[in-house]
Structure 1
Amino acid sequence: MAPIHGVKTITTNVGWSVLSKTATFGLKFVTVPILARLLTPSEFGTVAVALTVVQFLTMIGGAGLTSALIMRPEEDVDTVHTVFWANLGMALAMSVALYLAAAPLAVLMGAPQSAYLLQIMALLIPIQLSGDVAYCLLARRMNFSKDAMWSTISESLAAIVAVLMAFAGFGIWALVAQLFAAALIRLAGLYSASAYVPRLVMRPRKLTPLLAFSSGVMGSEIANFLTFQSPMIVIARLLGLADAGAYSVANRFASIPNQVVLTAVMGVLFPAFSVMGQDRKRRSDALMLSTQVTTVILAPMMFGLWAVAQPAMLVIFGSNWAHAWPVLGLLALSKAIVTPCSTFIPYLKGTGHGHILFWSAVIRAVATTAAIALACLWGTLVDAMVALCVVNALTLLGYSWAVFRIDDIPFLRGLLISSRSMINALVMAVTVRLALAALSAHLANPYIEILVGAAVGGLVYGLLLLVSERALLRKLVGLLRNRKQALPV
């Protein structure tokens, strides 16, 4: 039977995951601006378009089987091996199909020059899917410390490779090498950490119990993927690779806080919720606490980036990218709006509400793609980012209504509790914007603007947090004290 994990186990594993993502954040904070200064927008756009296709096919190849494997109460060896070979077989089929269809697919996406990259990057599909089962075993055992270590190592070494190659003049190949290096190093690390050794065991009947859950998860993940990646394809097709490159660079940087917090939290919460079963109180407490903590941490980062987007774009990416600061700001704002949703997807996934997860994701994907396309047809890249903000505001309301209804939490009460820190962060960001505007005559240096904005924002948000989130802060302090008391002397 699967072990029961309490708040202490969950917070420990979230801590490891956040530590790993924080290290990755530090690397990307340095490497993305360096690469942006050494490479052109078109080069970024070409790789981003090709990577979108590879990531989409990787998601389909996995078919949600490893997620279903995490949900199983027992760790059956034959089922594990069967899922491994099913994943690998699908990955190889996808890789061959992409290689053969690279040229027409590149034309369809509005980037015919990316055909050769699609053929090369097709090899990433089997490399990435080969590690899914090893990661699944670590997730089942809630052993995220080892995954965190190897994720940090792989991203660190890959970033070093990319920067060195970019300085050496390899251009677009620096980005390609970064992807392959990260995938190969993490693959080796996952096998080492999980001690998993694939064996030639294939029992197709073992897949049958997994398909019902995996099909819903696969559908929702595909829809979520379209939500996050369709803007790149639409922008490249309707506005050109230069705008796609500007979007790619801004999105990479604006996504760093999400990758630090959300990826870590979602990866841990899914297996945690899956073993809580019908214990509604524990499940509800974990949902609200994780949502509040995530929002308290992430919301000020995203709204703060919106507030200082103009000087930040100039300082981080250089004068060649300064014109794209509204894109960076609006992307940060769009991600900030859906901050409370960060725990809703693993909640729906882990509690077996795959149909709600699927339809919510489909509606969001259709709305996002349509809004971006219409904005690009009748406006500019900035208009497209405004449309994304509107869609994300509606997404927040939709996901909140679905989750709070399932958990019998009054909608307005749940929305207020989960979004309170987001409102504080919004007030903080508007205050920073007003302060910078009022002091603009005295802040000619963009570096000083960022420092002043950070100081004002930290002070305002800290005060608002003390006023509105005292109960949450007391709870977190209590958890830390209990943890220290439980440690051996």
Structure 2
Amino acid sequence: MPSNVNAKSVTRNVGWSVLSKTGTFGLKFVTVPILARILTPEEFGTVAVALTVVQFLAMIGGAGLASALIVARDEDMVLIHSAFWANLAVSLLMALGLFAFADPLASLLGAPEAGYLLQIMSLLIPLQLAGDVAYSLLARRMNFSKDAIWTMLSEILGALVAVGAALLGFGVWSLLAQLFVSAFIRLAGLYAVSGYVPRFVFSPGRVLSLSRFSFGMMGAEIANFVTFQSPMVVIGRNLGLADAGAYSAANRFSSIPNQIVLSAVMGVLFPAFSHMSEDRQRRSQALMLSTQVTTVLLAPMMFGLWALAEPAMLVLFGQQWAAAWPVLGLLALSKGLLTPCSTYIPYLKGIGQGTILFWWAVIRAVATTGAVAYGAIGGSLVDAMIALCLVNLATLVGYSWVVFRADRLPFLRGFFTSIRPLASAIVMAIVVRLLLQSYGSMLPNALLQLLAGTAVGSLIYLVLVLLTEQPLLAKLNDLARSRGASGSMTTAAE
């Protein structure tokens, strides 16, 4: 691990990662509604079901080897080359298996018409896994700026191809084109910026040396994947492809704020916490600060989307999706409840608590799948989303208890400190929702309702944060001043 991991380097790399995610998901903010207006819910649902299988197999194929390379003490090239060939071999076998059993698997998932898509999308598995080792080298070097540039480029070009193909009437093929174009460009970019060149070197013993860590991470990732993707499968099987498409479109849009911040923060904090694993005081301070900051940023976005879901659905997706606005609101609410948990997974990974992470991930996966299935089988898509909100509320308490216990922090003090911004966001969202219900009819269209609600909500939340988060704001101010003073000293010395 690099020896210069500190608040400055973490902040810089988080900044690059957030910039990358802001660019790519900001693009999705535009392209998802455009595609939703051109394509049907059934087309969205079919691709979403097929992509769930591909992502699951790609994750298993990696077996956590990339994560193990990130926490390794040295860049052992024999180990790195061995991990690359192991990844590639497994990915090719999985792609072949998916191609051969695509039709029965699609039927099992309740989408028999997706069989041919599974066969085509099986090629995405080696495309994704072939870049894992190159990415792990960038991550362990805390060099996220280069990855950020290529990520933005791949997503921009993929989205442009998708919109262009959809406008030309290619239907579901436009979504496939987006996936493949983005995968090819990102793969090429990872090798270009990491400088990694695979060589024909393979040591089974070196690969096995990573197994203890990698298989634990693989188990946790599988459980997390089930948590995030099982609702799609359950909804597709029990409620049909139209509801699956509505869920997919709403989920993709409501995930944009989370993925901009969370994927950026988690990718950087994992190697950073690994470097701090033997310094409890330092990592505890980093845990609380990163948790508070991400919650302050994310909570108002998610609860604000819940408050403004109805006009947002009309403005962004069009009249054909209008009935799905409660789904968008409830998904935003369910994700908003988990915002304080954003740093917990990289923290547990970084300090070597793989066993705890695995078992709590399994518990969450079982609870999420069961709750959504109960809501979908006995009711509607809205009932399933309400069940998801209840599970995520329990997950917030459970994950907080596990992490603060692992860090030997008092649970109640840590819990209430971390959820304080969440409470401010909830108050803001309720006020905005009530104002919209009472006075929304005075505004002539959904766009004005959305803009007015966003402005009012931002002002309310800013006031609440200034009143309730003075210790956090003071800490951030001190950090900014110390960085400024350090920069001035460096300039003077030069």
TM-score, normalised on structure 1? 0.99
TM-superposed deviation, 1:480: 2.0
What is aligned with 1:400?
A: 400
What is aligned with 2:177?
A: 177
Q: How does 1:413-452 map to 2 (within 5 A)?
A: 413-452=413-452
Task: After superposition, give the CA deviation of every residue in 1:334-356 in whole Å (9 maximum; x if it has no partner).
Answer: 00000000000000011100000
Instruction: Indicate conservation of the 8 Å contact 2:88/2:130, yes or no.
Output: yes
List alignment gaps of at least 5 residues for structure 1: none
SS of corresponding position for 1:110 = coil
Equivalent position amino acid for 2:207 in 1: L
Instruction: Indicate conservation of the 8 Å contact 2:2/2:142, yes or no.
Output: no
Equivalent position amino acid for 1:60 in 2: I
TM-superposed deviation, 1:475: 1.5
Instruction: Indicate conservation of the 8 Å contact 1:2/1:74, yes or no.
Output: no
Equivalent position amino acid for 2:407 in 1: D
List alignment gaps of at least 5 residues for structure 2: none
What is aligned with 2:32?
A: 32
What is aligned with 2:380?
A: 380
Instruction: Indicate conservation of the 8 Å contact 1:4/1:275, yes or no.
Output: no
Q: Distance in 2 between matches of 1:181 and 1:453?
A: 37
Task: After superposition, give the CA deviation of every residue in 1:255-286 in whole Å (9 maximum; x if it has no partner).
Answer: 00011000000000000011112100110011
Task: After superposition, give the CA deviation of every residue in 1:400-445 in whole Å (9 maximum; x if it has no partner).
Answer: 0000001111111111111110110000000100111121331231
Pair 1:479-2:482 in alignment: no
Q: How does 1:195-344 map to 2 (within 5 A)?
A: 195-344=195-344
What is aligned with 1:361?
A: 361
Pair 1:411-2:419 in alignment: no
Task: After superposition, give the CA deviation of every residue in 1:59-84 in whole Å (9 maximum; x if it has no partner).
Answer: 00000011011111111000000000
SS of corresponding position for 1:439 = helix
What is aligned with 1:99?
A: 99
Equivalent position amino acid for 1:331 in 2: L
Task: After superposition, give the CA deviation of every residue in 1:139-194 in whole Å (9 maximum; x if it has no partner).
Answer: 00000001111110100010100000000111000000000011110000000010
Q: Distance in 2 between matches of 1:180 and 1:234?
A: 26
TM-superposed deviation, 1:290: 0.4
Equivalent position amino acid for 2:194 in 1: S
TM-superposed deviation, 1:4: 4.5
Instruction: Indicate conservation of the 8 Å contact 1:19/1:148, yes or no.
Output: yes
Q: How does 1:93-132 map to 2 (within 5 A)?
A: 93-132=93-132
TM-superposed deviation, 1:220: 0.4
What is aligned with 2:63?
A: 63
Instruction: Indicate conservation of the 8 Å contact 1:232/1:247, yes or no.
Output: yes
Instruction: Indicate conservation of the 8 Å contact 1:2/1:73, yes or no.
Output: no
Instruction: Indicate conservation of the 8 Å contact 1:338/1:396, yes or no.
Output: yes
Instruction: Indicate conservation of the 8 Å contact 2:368/2:388, yes or no.
Output: yes
What is aligned with 1:464?
A: 464
Equivalent position amino acid for 1:321 in 2: W
What is aligned with 1:371?
A: 371
Q: How does 1:4-83 map to 2 (within 5 A)?
A: 4-83=4-83
TM-superposed deviation, 1:2: 4.2
What is the aligned-residue RMSD (CA, Å)? 0.9
Task: After superposition, give the CA deviation of every residue in 1:212-235 in whole Å (9 maximum; x if it has no partner).
Answer: 011110000000000000000010
Instruction: Indicate conservation of the 8 Å contact 2:257/2:301, yes or no.
Output: yes
Q: Distance in 1 between matches of 2:41 and 2:25?
A: 22
Q: Distance in 2 between matches of 1:225 and 1:262?
A: 15
Q: Distance in 2 between matches of 1:413 and 1:485?
A: 32
Equivalent position amino acid for 2:164 in 1: L
TM-score, normalised on structure 2? 0.98
Q: Distance in 2 between matches of 1:420 and 1:233?
A: 34
TM-superposed deviation, 1:8: 1.1
SS of corresponding position for 2:176 = helix
160-169 vs 478-487, greater mean Cα deviation? 478-487
TM-superposed deviation, 1:483: 2.2
Instruction: Indicate conservation of the 8 Å contact 2:158/2:177, yes or no.
Output: yes
Equivalent position amino acid for 2:341 in 1: C
Name the count of aligned residue pairs: 489
Q: Distance in 2 between matches of 1:331 and 1:51?
A: 20
Among all aligned residue pairs of Structure 1 and Structure 2, give the percentage whose two residues are the same amino acid: 66
SS of corresponding position for 1:288 = helix
Instruction: Indicate conservation of the 8 Å contact 2:45/2:244, yes or no.
Output: yes
